[in-house]
Structure 1
């Protein structure tokens, strides 16, 4: 979450008149995250999240995301579907951006998850994967393997402005992952593709919400767990691996899908791919975030450090 597009109180009040949600009481921009503009909105009746979709989220993809959330909610999963207006529409326009009013879920995102919290979150991911078995929507992964080299080339030598040697290290890592990646070897389904700790809401050791499905796509099922493993099993700087958390993630997910021998053998490659993907997108955002955006930039080097855990043979110039 973040704020790139400013919304005035007057514009938001007019927007809310389309819904049966009461009158605007307060609104506050949310700085966490990097993808869309988000506001915490309180009305006289309830609390909501207002999301304005920025350039990385294509307006044509929004019906897929909304249908996915509705499907998961119908299966009693803790996800935040969009609130329909009086005409039944969930996708609107506000300040020149596609916009949705999202149901607020209770809970907090943990920054240093315990093994018990990791187990619960991965269990929830496994339940999500089971729930999409009869979901008919399909969406190519806009940040999948085929996107990484073009993004690397767009970043170009500017990567070395972030850290000397980053262009060479990330290019080598990209080559190694592409050589080992095998799309056809594993089950595919709709995956979350971004289930970081800040996209899981918890009360104690209980998951109260899975949020921010705006990278959801059809891809390798176990790759979703590899993304989660790379995000949860390290400290925020990516310096210290926490094996108890990593083991708990795999154990929680295995409640629904025990890893096969082939998945175990490929897991380090899939996790390396996750590291490359997030190092690249963070680097791009680091180089291109507007100076006046209310957003917390995320360090791409934290994913280079994680990458060296999964592939120790890589050069360590940027670790």
Structure 2
């Protein structure tokens, strides 16, 4: 994604040798995103993605890396972290924790139709079920406690109307989180950032979910909401696309049916998903870090999505 840390070919070559991936043939920085340094690395053994973690610590990272391996071992199409002779999948490079995963086939579909949405819904449900026996725990680090901490930081950058909206929505989400219905929501490891550019397709097949570095244990319904707020909206306006949403939801619930609490709280979680990304984009936009390939996302997009979710609640039909 954005290149915050420059990696030389010699440094990358040494890591590829350590992982027994053959000689490095090409190293190319990946543009886009805002969290980690990412490179495509081509070796004699194949295509890989090298990631240097800019915010996550070495103590936090085993949750993500072992989760990916856990899911891959259960047939979920996700990148599998590469290990050295000692079986370690977390390494140090340029003074930063780093990992190498296999590169998925295919390409992202940035203009999805109902077929794409159904494939994502079905695979997400299988992923949630596959993660039920994952034995590591880490909360969603961009969940409600982070929203409560971060909203006061971004408030000075907002108009009066924006400040009123974000404050009232945060209060509403705190109220929802304290409810008995919310306590009844099933939980487990979630991706938490499964946007269109984090899924690969090839020949009408879904070939993988990737970029698990926002994952954490949270409600499965929140993961569904994050997906619907990207896969099933009109990007220019933030307006809900009913046909794509129902394709996603019907495919998901065919694998894992919703509980009554999930059906009840779907509109609230759609609002929660929009709020989460509005807050994080405000933070990244107004308090940016330096990077050689950094393009912060427009915060106004998820403000529009949130307003639409409040004005027009969506349900599973």
Gaps of 5+ in 2: none
Q: CA deviation at 1:41?
A: 0.6
Runs of 4+ deviating beyond 4 Å: none
- Report the Cα distance in structure 2 between the residues aligned to 1:234 and 1:303, rounded to whole angstroms: 11
Q: 1:109 aligns to what?
A: 108
Cross-structure match for 1:301: 300
- 2:235: which partner in 1? 236
**Paired residue secondary structure (1:27):** strand
2:190 is the alignment partner of 1:194? no
The offset of 1:153, in angstroms, is: 1.2
Q: Partners of 1:29 and 1:219 in 2: how far apart?
A: 32
Alpha carbons of structure 1 residues 199 and 92: separation in structure 2 relative to 1, 3 Å: same
Deviation at 1:313, TM superposition (A): 8.6
For normalisation by structure 2, the TM-score amounts to 0.92
User: 2:153 is matched with which residue?
Assistant: 154
Equivalent residue number for residue 43 of structure 1:
43
Q: Which residue of 2 aligns with 1:257?
A: 256
Residues 63-114 of structure 1 deviation map (CA, whole Å, 9 limit, x = unaligned): 1112111111111111111111233221011111100011111011111111
Distance 1:259 1:17 in 2: 46
TM-score for the superposition, normalised by structure 1: 0.92
1:167 pairs with 163, 169, 172, which one? 163
For these two proteins, the number of residue pairs brought into alignment is 310
Unaligned runs of 5+ in 1: 315-319
Q: Which residues in structure 2 correspond to 1:63-74 (within 5 Å)?
A: 63-74=62-73
Judge conservation of contact 2:2–2:291 (CA < 8 Å) in 1: no
Q: Matched residues in 2 for 1:277 and 1:36: separation?
A: 19
Cα offset, 1:291, TM superposition: 4.4
Between the aligned partners of 2:312 and 2:193, the Cα distance in structure 1 is 26
Distance, in Å, in 2 between the alignment partners of 1:177 and 1:89 is: 39
| Cα distance change of structure 1 residues 218 and 238 upon mapping to structure 2, 3 Å threshold | farther
**In the alignment, which residue of structure 1 is the partner of 2:17?**
17
* Residues 120 and 205 in structure 1, CA contact (< 8 A), matched pair in contact too: no
Determine the structure 2 residue equivalent to 1:317: none
Q: After superposition, give the CA deviation of every residue in 1:137-195 in whole Å (9 maximum; x if it has no partner).
A: 111111111210111112230234xxx74333222221222223334121111111111
For 1:133, the equivalent position in structure 2 comes to: 132
1:53–1:98 contact (8 Å) kept in structure 2: yes
| Structure 1 SS opposite 2:311 | coil
